[in-house]
Amino acid sequence: MAYQGKTALITGGISGIGKNVAVALQEQGATVLLADINENASLLKGLNESRADSAFYYKVDVTDWDQQVGLFKFAIEKLKRVDYVFANAGIVETTFLAYTSPTQVEFTKPDLRTIDVNLVGALYTSNLAAQVFRTQEVVDGFRGKIILTGSVASFSAIPHMPLYTASKHAIAGVVRSLAPQLGAENITVNAVCPNVTRTALVPQEVFDIFESQGTITPNETVTNVFHTFLGESKVNGALKSMIARLHEDISLRARMLLSQAK
């Protein structure tokens, strides 16, 4: 098996992209730690029934530094060595510009949770991963590998989604800036940047609209791209996209549904 004896910590590992990556790695021999604010007992049970003690769960709010420190301490205790860290936890757009009336006299504070989860959370995860990796011996050429989840929004702006776009643009900058420094320490940093993928975060009607526009990236395709950064791969500082741009003509219905998804 490709990842026999390897370990992986995956934030947002209970559903969507994180879950798919966790299952794929576990099936190929890795021990996985699923970190998420939500729980999925059946997923954990199923993984451990197929191979005992191959999957662990840790409840964490990635926007909280102390909780992430607890997560990495748990990882060291349970996994001993951490080979791969996936900074994957994310949410969709929150309200940046609230609708106001001409007579409004009070200011409305924007909801910046998208930045907190998608960017601050990913920075905390990447920072802690680097600190752990620096304490580890080089094995098969590496101390460890950090893989972030970007988006097609890492390259192009998504209309009416400024916070999500900003967070994913920032992920691209983090990878490009951090990779040379950590690469010199036998640590790689890369990002997978898919187009729209089906997750539980958004009403399925939205995905039906995007699929009709040809902008859905199959989950299997996304998972396969993650594999290209693992194992013996020496790739560092890369942003791998599946589709070069998002369809610019997002329908009004899709925009409304995305703005309502929390």
Residues 6+ apart with CB under 8 A from 241: 152, 154, 155, 193, 194, 195
Residue type, 232: E
- Cα distance between residue 200 and residue 38, in whole Å: 12
The phi-psi region of residue 16 (left if phi > 0; otherwise alpha if psi is between -120 and 50; otherwise beta) is left
Residue 228 main-chain phi, psi, to 5 deg:
-70, -15
Task: State the catalytic residue, choosing from 57, 58, 84, 164.
Answer: 164
Check if 164 is active-site. yes
Question: Residue 78 burial (CB < 10 Å; 0-12/13-18/19+)?
Answer: middle
Q: Is 200 exposed, middle or buried (0-12, 13-18, 19+ CB in 10 A)?
A: exposed
Positive or negative, the CA dihedral 217, 6, 228, 187 is: positive
Query: Which H/E stretch holds residue 33?
Result: strand 31-36
Find the helix or strand (DSSP H, E) in which 187 lies.
strand 187-193
Q: How far is Cα 175 from Cα 159, in angstroms, rounded to an integer?
A: 24
Q: Residue 119 gets which letter from DSSP?
A: I
Question: Any idea which residues carry the catalytic annotation?
Answer: 164
